[in-house]
Structure 1
């Protein structure tokens, strides 16, 4: 038996007291009191046979000492590992003296005997009968010691079905699944149990203390002690606006469908990680724009076991979660955001996507490469156009600032709207510094306008009608030079092939997926089989994100040690991978071009 448990059993002798109350002892003959004290002393000295002999005599004579003698006789037999005789004596005790003031101690010992002999269900039933709050902590230790020895997963699952409210069973079942099982149903069971009961105590992390008497908008989550080495499993908190109160299983088109797609991709990555020996537990939290709910969550004891945070998407909940991540040295992922503000002065916050500033910088670096737009013409003049969305103008402004730092001349910078003819009439009309080659005609018509020579044109738009319209407008305005546009400015299913071939066209495409790759084809087939639908780009992003950072957790325990190694080193990602070697936004910014009947990544 475990030494601590052995001390606990024998220690109950002192807890019960050597004698009953003084009133009861007054009714006990002096010689019987003497024999009783001698038996207890013998028991404490491990002289079990002598103690049992004296205690048997006391039992036969009855009186106030009889229930104590029953109990101590059972202790002696227990210490001799004569569990059957110990159990029989305890059953006699509970039958004859059901109202004995220390009956809970007898139930505890009955539970220990049952568990020693593998009768765990009987032992748990005995422990449930204990009403003394002072014994509950010892009962929990007893449960944990014996239940942790169970290695039969089916047995432990059956016990959980019989005792669904028992936390010790749940925690040991979680631990056993995480250590031994790769079955999908088992892993889902582990997730459900962890959501309800928390996690087995495997680290020194302490539960977070609640923040009281402070408004949520200014409250700072508490810090906990984080493990500094890899462990056997990792807990990921997915804090996204699932809006479960509005969920309709029969509804296929939801305003937040991207959230479920992200989560489905994350779950498939979890299965892939399990194949690699990396166990990830997912905890989905329905978090919208509610700062108080977010603060309550990060202050909860179960959240202190979190190793990675995904989300939240809204500003104030994200601020609270970021503060918690920084204080507790936990990586926080912003899965779809592109704002640099989310990672400014936030060492543990990462953008899964490249920020708009990063995209602008990478495009500017791209045009300086040999054979790229900057070398196709001799001019350094550039025109920049953008759509109506806020992120369009932000990206355009970032690109303008980046070009100016590289001594390019931005000759036009404006929002595009209306038809191609309207775009053409406004394009470059107010800028006389643009070089142009005179046409042979002196009549100012679209067909006879002078050719305007630019290094390239940049279009930042989220409207898939703006790309084709701008191409038409550039032709009407007789503007030469390449077009670099955001991929969202085109509809790849509706636009004709000539849309992508009639001009030197490059697409800034952060979420580019090369569908010719086997890994992409296989993922699509697996997703279709499991979800009965084809995966969206958000599903692919969720998969890649969880796969990359799950591997990072396994290698480094979640710690950011070597920045140069914080980049994808395999080609089994659906998109283009990750690189955080220099900053906390993804530095990989794909640029593609239509070649050989398909889009090809050229940067």
Structure 2
């Protein structure tokens, strides 16, 4: 049965609606324009309350009303002029909801940012500014940000920086605030690092002498430059390292100068078995002017100079040796990861990337591989993994590899870690794993890729990861081409070798460290908090866990092509 009372009420309501909307339907474009002009006049006269009401009356949809979106915008602007930021934000959100394709959305996002700043919600303000597409408006955003950032304290700015780490204006305001007010050494050094990382303007710090900054930093290069060495060892490793490193250092010296970081290389001839020459150089007082020492390359001379460097607080770097015995102080650095570090990094990689962290660890009798296996075991256990077997294998007892795999079986094994450069042991491992149907990952060494008796095709189809500390992965092809072009233009040009890259990357990294933290500084205090940093060309640096570089490329065949799978 029909409800006549409800029907009557609906009819009455419909008639009222028609009466209310009829005048709106009758309004022309000229009438809307006249009302819009009147609202604008109120706004220009700074009568913001009346202007907001006038613009509000123009926000409804009508075929002749082309001002609806503008009316929302100016209603919000007039409301914001009355310090009613929350109300303005609501109006602007209505604008975005009802007119998502409005051609001036950038202006709406700008106004939303202003409202968020007024509400003391800078993180929302930066979010709105990040949506602006117009380049000119984006460039002006720094002025708006700077105006509000100056009212925030150091802690607030730094917390915001953690959310927006690439915002240069935010970072600039932070370092300027630290420079003007802070005497905290940690804050100052963090601010200086931020300047270098983001290419900011270096402010004048309140505590100017907290770091021993210099206009030019001296880098002493101790290499076998003697004519006899280069003549008799022209194709040998020592000469290649010395020449390549020095050429790379020279090129980095020039490139850093374009960034305002001035380096002066001082070369000294320290060859093989010349410990007496190292002592003479120390006694001459020449090294006293050095801010950084690169070399000597060989262990005997390096240990002598490293003691002097530590006593005089001079960072010293060996770019060719990864012997942990050289790490005698916090001022000594190795650009290659030690065997122990390689083992630990491999354990972290396995824990993060393999389905099961249950490992069989085998190793040969070479001291570096014993260290690598021990470190891998310790790191895996510390990360919550499990070691199913841990055993040294001799080349004369190859059946032990097969017996070990048979004892444990395939069900429990997550992966195999093989710290060995023995082709016999590696070959037996691959054969034994195939015999029992073990398809779990195997972590081996880069030297496996040079084995003569194991075909590349077999390595490519097996689930093998290779630890490759000397692998050079190009980060930027354009940068590499520019490097080669500049390298060939150097006086006394020699063919580019891998050590030229090492020298170039080394000075790029430590040159910027000196620029940030000054001379005679223990970089260890800062490197422990400095995340992995890729090199300008290839390679990278990671000293968070010690004074040997933990940047360790890990390779794997994918679809027949050898690729670096870590670090990413």
Distance change >3 Å, CA 352–CA 567, structure 1 → 2: farther
Task: Report the RMSD for the aligned CA atoms in angstroms.
Answer: 3.6
Cα deviation 1:547-581 (Å, max 9, x = unaligned): 11111122222323651587478655233321224
* Larger proportion of helix: 2
Q: Is the 8 A contact 1:453 1:480 kept in 2?
A: no
Contact 1:350 1:584 in 2 (8 A): yes
Residue 461 of structure 2 corresponds to 502
Residue pair 1:361, 1:399 contacting (<8 A) in 2 also: yes
Residue 415 of structure 2: aligned partner: 456
| Counterpart in the other structure of 2:302 | 318
Q: Kindly tell me: are residues 517 and 313 of structure 1, through their superposed partners in 2, closer, same or farther at Cα, counting changes over 3 Å? A: same
Q: CA deviation at 1:501?
A: 3.2
Compared CA separation, residues 482 and 332, structure 1 to 2 (3 A): same
Correspondence list, 1:208-357, <5 A: 228-248=211-231, 251-253=234-236, 256-287=239-270, 288-344=272-328, 346-357=329-340
CA distance in 2, matches of 1:271, 1:463: 43
Q: What does 1:201-600 correspond to in 2, within 5 Å?
A: 228-248=211-231, 251-253=234-236, 256-287=239-270, 288-344=272-328, 346-369=329-352, 372-373=353-354, 375=355, 377=356, 380-386=358-364, 389-405=366-382, 406=384, 408-415=386-393, 417=395, 423=398, 425-429=399-403, 434-436=407-409, 454-462=413-421, 470-476=429-435, 478-491=437-450, 498-515=457-474, 517-518=476-477, 519-527=479-487, 535-558=496-519, 559-560=521-522, 563-564=526-527, 567=530, 571-595=534-558, 597-600=561-564
TM-score (ref. length: structure 1): 0.51
For structure 1, which runs of at least 5 residues remain unmatched after alignment?
1-225, 437-450
Name 2:85's counterpart in structure 1. none
CA contact (8 A) 2:214 2:518 kept: yes
SS, match of residue 299 in structure 1: helix
Q: Measure, in 2, the Cα distance between the counterparts of 1:550 and 1:277.
A: 11
Structure showing greater Rg: 1
**Do the aligned partners of residues 469 and 576 (structure 1) sit closer, same or farther apart at CA in structure 2, a change above 3 Å counting?**
farther
Whole-Å separation in 2 of the counterparts to 1:467 and 1:537: 27
Shift of 1:402: 3.4
CA distance in 1, matches of 2:338, 2:390: 24
Q: Verify: 1:601 aligned to 2:561, yes or no.
A: no
For residues 417 and 290 of structure 1, do their structure 2 counterparts lie closer, same or farther at Cα, with a shift above 3 Å needed? same
Deviation at residue 470 of structure 1 after TM alignment: 4.4
Aligned-residue offset at 1:262: 2.1
Q: Distance between the aligned counterparts of 1:528 and 1:461, measured in 2?
A: 39
- Provide, for residues 51-84 of structure 1, a one-character-per-residue CA deviation record: whole Å limited to 9, x for no partner: xxxxxxxxxxxxxxxxxxxxxxxxxxxxxxxxxx
Change (3 A) 1:538 1:460: farther
Distance 1:325 1:264 in 2: 24
Q: 1:246 to 1:565 in 2, by over 3 A?
A: closer
> 1:12-58: CA deviations, max 9, x gaps?
xxxxxxxxxxxxxxxxxxxxxxxxxxxxxxxxxxxxxxxxxxxxxxx
Gaps (5+ residues) in structure 2?
Answer: 1-208
Question: Does the C-alpha gap of structure 1 residues 368 and 341 become closer, same or farther in structure 2, counting only changes over 3 Å?
Answer: same
Partners of 1:512 and 1:575 within 8 A in 2: no
- Structure 1 residues 509, 384: CA separation in 2 closer, same or farther (over 3 Å shift)? same
Shift of 1:304: 1.5
In structure 2, do the counterparts of structure 1 residues 571 and 429 end up closer, same or farther at CA, with 3 Å as the change threshold?
closer
